[in-house]
Amino acid sequence: MSLETRVETEGDDRVLPFQIEASALRGRVVRMGPLLDEVLRHHAYPKPVAERLAEMLALAALLSGALKFEGVFTLQIKGDGPVKLMVADVTSAGHMRGYAQFDAAAVAALGTGPAPSVPRLFGAGYLALTVDQGAHTERYQGIVELTGATLAECVHGYFRQSEQLEAAVMVAARAPAGGGNRGWRAGALMLQRLPTEGTELVRDDADEAWRHALILMSSCSPAELTSADLPAEDLLFRLFHEDGVRVFRDHALEARCRCSRERVERVLEALPQQDLEEMKVEGEVVVTCEFCSRVYRFGDSEIAALAKS
C-alpha cells in the first residue's frame, strides 16, 4: 500500500447530467480535481490567473454538454486588462486543455487579497464560445461583451443574448490548501429550461418551477461545489431532493493536449522560408505549445526539408 497522500477523489473529472423530476428541468454538474493539476502543472500561473483558468475549464465542460457536437468546443476571453487571453477547450471525447496570456507585473500589482473581479483581471473585452466540427462544417461562434464581476455573470450575459437557451450557471475553483500545485478543485452547476408551450396557466406553472429550482440551486455554496468529500450525486440530492432528482450516465474528462510534431510541421511548412530563417536560434527552430508547454525542436536539415515540401 502506498503511503503517498491520495489527492484523487472517486468521481472527479466528469460531467454528470441530471433531471429534476417534479419540473423536468435538466442540468449538469461538473467536478474537477486531478485534471486541473495536470493542466496547471505545466505553467507557473499566479493564483488569480490559475483560479480563473480552473473555472474556465469547468465552464467549458459544463457548457459543451448543452450542445451536440463532434469536434472541439472552445471558451475564450480576450481583454485589455492584466490578463489578455484565456482559453479552455474540450473535445467531444472529453479531452481538455487551457492556457492564459498575461502581464505578470500587472497581475502582481492586483495584490494578494480577495480574487480580483473580471473587470480588474481582464479589463474590457469579450467572451466567445466556438464549436469547431472540422474542415467541412460551418463553425459556430457566439460572442458577448464581458459584463459582470464573475465568470458566471459573464456566461449569464451570453445566455441573455442567446435565443435558444434559458439557463443559469454557478462555478467555483479552489487552490490547493497551503499552496503547491497538487490538489486543485473546481466545480460547476448548470440548470436550463426549454421554451414552454401551452396555455397561460401551464406557462405560469413552468415559470414558477424554474424560479423555485433557481432558488434551490443558489443555496449551493462554493465549498460544496468544489468539495472533495461530497460526491456530485450527493450534492444534487442535497440541493433538489424535495423535487426528486435523477442522474444520467456521466462523461469522463481528461487533461490531454492535441498538439503533435506533425501539427507543428504543418504550421511551419506554411511559413515563408525567410520567416523560418528568422525564427532560428543557434541553428534550430524551437516551438513551444502554449497549452501544454511541450517543446518541439527542428534542426537545419529538418527546416530545409520543410521548406521544400
Residues lying near Zn ion in the complex (CB under 5 A): 257, 259, 289, 291-292, 294
For residues 243 and 47, give the distance between their C-alpha atoms in angstroms, rounded to a whole number: 38
Nearer to Zn ion, 205 or 254 (CB): 254
Nearer to Zn ion, 73 or 122 (CB): 73
Q: How far is the CB of 88 from Zn ion (least distance, A)?
A: 14
Q: How far is the CB of 101 from Zn ion (least distance, A)?
A: 15
Contact status, residue 9 vs residue 174, Cβ threshold 8 Å: no
Q: How far is the CB of 295 from Zn ion (least distance, A)?
A: 10
Rounded to 5 degrees, what are φ and ψ at 198? 125, -165
Q: How far is the CB of 246 from Zn ion (least distance, A)?
A: 38
- Three-state DSSP class for residue 39: helix
Nearer to Zn ion, 121 or 292 (CB): 292
Q: How far is the CB of 291 from Zn ion (least distance, A)?
A: 4
One DSSP character per residue, 136-190 reads TSPPEEEEEE--SSSHHHHHHHHHHH-SS-EEEEEEEEEPPTTSSSS--EEEEEE
Nearer to Zn ion, 90 or 146 (CB): 90
Q: How far is the CB of 263 from Zn ion (least distance, A)?
A: 9
Contact status, residue 122 vs residue 83, Cβ threshold 8 Å: yes
List helix spans (H) across 17-146: 34-40, 47-64, 104-108, 118-122
Please give the angle made by the CA atoms of 174, 168 and 63, to the nearest 5 degrees.
Answer: 70
- Three-state DSSP class for residue 291: coil
Nearer to Zn ion, 41 or 294 (CB): 294
Nearer to Zn ion, 25 or 289 (CB): 289
For residues 169 and 191, give the distance between their C-alpha atoms in angstroms, rounded to a whole number: 7
Nearer to Zn ion, 95 or 212 (CB): 95
Question: Among residues 100, 111, 91, which one has the least CA distance to residue 56?
Answer: 100
Q: How far is the CB of 253 from Zn ion (least distance, A)?
A: 17
